[in-house]
Amino acid sequence: MAAAALEEGLATEATAFNCPGWGVFYGRKFLCHEKGGHGGIAMQRAIQVSCNVYFYNLGSRLGIDSIAKYARHVGLGALTGIDIGQEQPGLVPSPEWKMKVHKDRWYPSETISVSIGQGPLLITPLQMAVAQAFIGTNGARVTPHLRMDAAGATFARRDDADTTISTRSLDAVRRAEWSVVNESGTGTRALIPGRDVCGKTGTAQVYAASAGVKDEDLPPEMRDHAWFVGFAPRDNPRVAFAVIVEHGGHGGTAAAPIVKKVLEKYFESEDKPAPREVPAPRQVADVSKKGSGIL
């Protein structure tokens, strides 16, 4: 959403909106997760603290066609190409899709829901990891593969960088995702000193009744799904990830700590020095006896 607005010239990093905890769009009230609101807030801070109202406003400016265009461009709503035999493409909705499937027109208020990942949007965790790899590598497309051995097989094929989304826009998103983890954002539980983890928390609503209600006040089966996606390190990233905890509540409290534990193990294995090669014994003449021995 941020990259799309920057590319379309509909917002800059300095563009700010007021978040009182809710916003009214097309006659309907949409809530922010922060009941008291975030006040005046610009792009990086909005990503850092996950302000819904900021992105409602971007969605209103962009419209569903532009949202769908950029979502598909980063790999959402399409097969990733992983070699596992079966894969679902998910869904990035559009007016054409709704007319074809539901025989009804698209309503502008539906765009507001899609702008924060709700509504008829279907995304797989693998697509989210590929999208994060796209952001982290400045536009390179990757095709994931299943790792089949313990010898260090390649995880993904990396193609040439795509330039449809500018380096400047992707840089803005990377800086914001770094601040989510490293500057008191919603993902600080994934912080690993010196590793520059970048990420974005997410909450996928399961029931409408969960809006504005604390997790502990809901039965487990009604709690939201918790997301945390991202890449590390910020410069020259080596790993992209997506974790979803079903009915976990909030991404920052349920999913981010899992990412931290996995990344700590990942970097630990990456940092291990390669085993020192021991030269094979060489044949030399044994001058004290006939024949030869091994020295």
DSSP string, the chain: -HHHHHHTTS--TT-EEEESSEEEETTEEEE-SSTT--EEEEHHHHHHHT-HHHHHHHHHHHHHHHHHHHHHHTTTTS----SSS-----B---HHHHHHHHSSPPPHHHHHHHTTT-SS-B--HHHHHHHHHHHHTTSEEEEE-----SS----EEEEEEP-SS-HHHHHHHHHHHHHHHHSSSTTGGG--TTS--EEEEEEE-SSGGGTT--GGGS-GGGSPEEEEEEEE-SSS--EEEEEEETT---IIIIIHHHHHHHHHHHHHHHHSPPPPPPPPP-EEE-TTSSSEEE-
Q: What confidence score (pLDDT) does residue 278 get?
A: 59
Q: How far apart are the first and last CA of the chain?
A: 67
∠ CA 140-126-168 to the nearest 5 degrees? 30
Query: Which CATH superfamily hosts domain 2-271?
Result: DD-peptidase/beta-lactamase superfamily (3.40.710.10)
Specify the pTM: 0.85
The structural domains of the chain, with segments of one domain joined by +, span: 2-271
Q: What confidence score (pLDDT) does residue 293 get?
A: 38
Sequential pLDDT tens for the chain (295 residues): 999 999 999 999 999 999 999 999 999 999 998 999 999 999 999 999 999 999 999 999 999 999 999 999 999 999 999 988 889 999 999 999 999 999 999 999 999 999 999 999 999 999 999 999 999 999 988 899 887 666 555 556 666 666 789 999 999 999 999 999 999 999 999 999 999 999 999 988 876 655 666 666 676 777 889 999 999 999 999 999 999 999 888 899 999 999 999 999 999 887 776 566 656 666 555 544 444 333 3
